[in-house]
Amino acid sequence: MRVLLLGGTGEARELAQALTDEPGVEVVSSLAGRTSDARLPPGAVRQGGFGGVDGLVRWIQEHAVDAVVDATHPFAAVMTDHAAEAARTSGVPLLVLRRPGWTESRGDEWHWVSSAEAAAKVLPAVGSRAFLTIGQQGLSAFAGTGLWMVARCVDPPEPRPDWCTLILDRGPYDLDGELALFREHRFDVLVTKDSGGPQTVAKLVAARQLGVPVVVIRRPPLPAGVVAVPTVDQAVEWVRGRR
C-alpha cells in the first residue's frame, strides 16, 4: 500500500515514522519546501509543489497512490482544498490529520478574529506593543497599524519588513524563555494563529501569567465531507483499515 503523506508538521514526521514501521505500507512524504533547513521525516521524501489540483491528480495516478493523508499545518487551507479535490477526482481515500486547537483557560483574555487583516484592525484597540507569532504569511497585513511590533518567524519574510523588529527562531519554546521575552520587550498584546499543539503553547501561558491579552486568528474550515482525526495513532489505524 502506497500512502502519500502531505507533511511539514511534527505530527506528519511522527506519522511517517509510524507508517515506515508498518508492514506492507510504503509512505512518501511531500514537503512544500517553504521552510529552509526543514526537518525531514523518515522514509521517501519529495519537495516542492504539485502544480495545483491537476498536478496532484497526475502525481497520485502516476505513482499508484492508494491513500492520501493530509498532515499539513492547520492554516495550509489551499493545500487541504487541493488534496480534497484531487482525492475525489482520482478516487483515492483522503484523511486529514489535525491537532486540536487551543482553548481558553481561566485568566485568559482572547479576542477571536477570522484573518490576519481582521487581527490588524482590532489590534490598536487591544494594545500598543505587539508580539506577532503568525509566521510569514499574513505578516504584511500589520504594516499599516503604526504600532511598535516584534514578529517571530522561522525564516525572514521577503521583502524583509522595515516596520517591525524580526526575531528568527524555531520552536519548541519553553515558558521561562517566553516570559523573559515578554518582559524584555514589554509586550502588551500577543497575536497568534490557533495552530494548536505543545511546541508553541508556552507563549499563551506566558500571556496568561502576565495578564497580556491575545488576538487569536481562527482556523480555516475543512472542506465539506472530509474525514479528520486529531492524533497520529488514529491516523495509523485509518491506514491499517485500508490495507
pLDDT at residue 32, as a whole number:
83
pLDDT bracket for residue 222 (50, 70, 90): very high
Give the span between the Cα atoms of 208 and 190, in whole angstroms: 10
Residue whose C-alpha is closest to residue 242's, from 91, 89, 50: 91
Please give the mean pLDDT across all residues of the chain: 95
pLDDT at residue 38, as a whole number:
65
Q: What's the grid cell of residue 18?
A: 509510524
Look at 79-88, 156-165, 183-192 and tell me which has the smallest mean pLDDT: 156-165
Q: What's the grid cell of residue 92?
A: 483515492
Tell me the sheet residues that pair with 131. 150, 190
- Radius of gyration of the CA atoms of the chain, in A: 19
End-to-end distance of the chain based on CA atoms, in angstroms? 6
Asked if 139 and 132 count as a contact pair (C-beta separation under 8 A), the reply is: yes
Strands ordered across the beta sheet of 189-193: 110-113, 214-217, 189-193, 129-133, 148-153, 165-168
DSSP-based three-state secondary structure for 151: strand
Give the span between the Cα atoms of 99 and 226, in whole angstroms: 15
> Is the pLDDT at 35 greater than 70, yes or no?
no
Q: What percent of the chain has pLDDT over 90?
A: 88
173-195 confidence digits (pLDDT tens) = 999 999 999 999 999 999 999 99
53-67 confidence digits (pLDDT tens) = 999 999 999 999 999
DSSP-based three-state secondary structure for 183: helix
Domains located in the chain, CATH noted = 2-100+220-240 (3.40.50.720), 110-217 (3.40.50.720)
Residue whose C-alpha is closest to residue 32's, from 76, 64, 89, 84: 76
The predicted model scores a pTM of 0.90
Tell me the sheet residues that pair with 149. 130
Q: What's the grid cell of residue 87?
A: 482525492
